[in-house]
């Protein structure tokens, strides 16, 4: 059974055929929209939808995406998506008014939009940094990736748009070789701490407060009590960490997973562990958190998904890891935080 929705003064119908979602405008008359939906449902039942071209009006898709985003991301991130959509919609009305459907979202349109963003900043005498323009492009990459995932686009046009040159912070992280050196030197308890941090991106307080009840064994993830959206904060667990946790659980002596002794500085233990192994680089919680972020961005996790995993209330905070995104040769984005292996 399909549904009828409304944007402004116009209705549109939403229905599924061949396992895909279709959305089609039906005008200002609800009675006509109901009739159109009944006719389409009859055709679906008769198997007569095989030749239907799948496309969608941009305003319908924008509403669909924002409804989806509200269930996935914190308010500040949703607001960024909304502002990006409103600005791009204004740009299309000015420069590409003929692009009314998603099929018109081509690399050329977004290349012109990037130029428009740069010129607009100069015209208004606003010092909008390349970093902010790149953030806008990343937002649109993820909007278009959602369109690709639900079948409205065959290709993500933003993958063909280069980012603007921008300065980025130098972040300390561990290479695979450095991580192996650390784990070889560390005593079992500290080795477990390192594996936990590079596998989850938790900060010190979150690690110390982590309890066995936070583990969803069936789905192999941590589910933290703190929620930054309408959904709980989910942190996927890789197979290596799952096995370590199962082994540790057999020996558990408290509700807390780590049970670090009071009076012992975990930060100092990490600093001492890294001395002489990292060529002057310090081993800190941030080093391990940055290592985690780099690892999962290499697995095609999107910046907004990374922000959600790390507990950021605004995905712009994840732009600190933009330098890692640029390392990737294959920049296909995934909006799912569950594909970590």
Q: In the sheet where 3-7 sits, what is the strand order?
A: 3-7, 10-17, 20-27
Helices (H), the chain: 30-45, 58-72, 75-95, 107-123, 130-149, 176-185, 188-200, 204-209, 239-249, 266-274, 285-297, 303-310, 322-325
- The mean pLDDT of 214-226, rounded to a whole number, is 88
Distance CA 308, CA 224 (A): 12
Closest to 316 (Cα-Cα) out of 142, 113, 66: 142
Q: Cβ–Cβ contacts within 10 Å for residue 249, how many?
A: 12
What Å distances lie between residue 72 and 60, 66, 67, 163, 307, CA to CA? 19, 10, 9, 26, 11
Distance CA 249, CA 261 (A): 18
Per DSSP, 256 falls in state B
All structural domains of the chain: 3-45 (no CATH), 58-160 (1.10.150), 176-297 (1.10.443.10)
The answer to whether the beta carbons of residues 14 and 21 sit under 8 Å apart is: yes
Q: Convert the pLDDT of each residue in 235-289 to its tens digit.
A: 999 999 999 999 998 887 788 898 887 657 899 999 999 998 888 889 999 999 9
The answer to whether the beta carbons of residues 156 and 145 sit under 8 Å apart is: yes
| Range ranked top by mean pLDDT from 106-110, 255-259, 329-333 | 106-110
227: Cβ contacts below 8 Å, ≥ 6 apart: 233
pLDDT cut 90: percent of the chain above it = 52
Q: Convert the pLDDT of each residue in 122-139 to its tens digit.
A: 766 555 678 889 999 999
Reported as a pLDDT band with limits 50, 70 and 90, residue 328 is low
Distance CA 217, CA 200 (A): 15
Per DSSP, 157 falls in state G
What Å distances lie between residue 182 and 191, 245, 293, 325, 333, CA to CA? 8, 20, 18, 25, 31
In the predicted structure, residue 340 carries a pLDDT above the cut 50? no
The answer to whether the beta carbons of residues 54 and 23 sit under 8 Å apart is: no
């Amino acid at each position: 059974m399909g549904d009828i929705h409304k944007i402004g003064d116009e209705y549109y119908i939403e229905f599924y055929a061949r396992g895909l979602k279709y959305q089609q405008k039906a005008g200002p008359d609800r009675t006509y929209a109901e009739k159109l939906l009944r006719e389409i449902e009859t055709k679906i039942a008769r198997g007569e939808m095989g030749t239907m071209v799948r496309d969608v009006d941009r305003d319908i898709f924008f509403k669909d995406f924002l409804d989806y985003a509200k269930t996935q991301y914190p308010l500040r991130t949703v607001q960024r998506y909304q502002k990006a959509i409103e600005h791009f919609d204004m740009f299309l009305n000015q420069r590409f008014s003929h692009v009314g459907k998603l099929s018109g979202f081509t690399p050329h349109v977004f290349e012109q939009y990037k130029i428009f963003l740069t010129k607009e900043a100069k015209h208004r005498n606003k010092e909008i940094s390349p970093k902010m323009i790149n953030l806008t492009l990343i937002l649109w990459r993820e909007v278009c990736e959602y369109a690709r995932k639900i079948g409205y686009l065959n290709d993500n046009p933003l993958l063909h748009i280069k980012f603007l040159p921008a300065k980025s912070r130098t972040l300390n992280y561990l290479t695979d070789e450095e991580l192996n050196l650390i784990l070889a030197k560390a005593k079992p308890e500290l080795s477990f701490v390192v594996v936990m941090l590079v596998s989850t991106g938790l900060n010190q307080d979150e690690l110390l407060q982590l309890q066995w009840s936070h583990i969803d064994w069936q789905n192999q993830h941590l589910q933290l009590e703190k929620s930054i959206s309408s959904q709980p904060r989910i942190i996927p667990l890789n197979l290596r960490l799952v096995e370590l946790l199962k082994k540790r659980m057999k020996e558990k002596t408290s509700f807390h997973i780590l049970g670090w002794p009071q009076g012992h500085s975990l930060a100092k233990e990490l600093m001492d562990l890294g001395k002489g192994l990292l060529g002057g680089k310090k081993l800190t919680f941030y080093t391990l958190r940055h290592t985690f972020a780099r690892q999962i961005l290499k697995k095609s996790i999107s910046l907004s998904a990374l922000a959600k995993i790390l507990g950021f209330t605004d995905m712009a905070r994840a732009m600190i890891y933009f330098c890692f995104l640029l390392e990737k040769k294959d920049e296909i984005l995934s909006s799912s935080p569950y594909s970590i292996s």
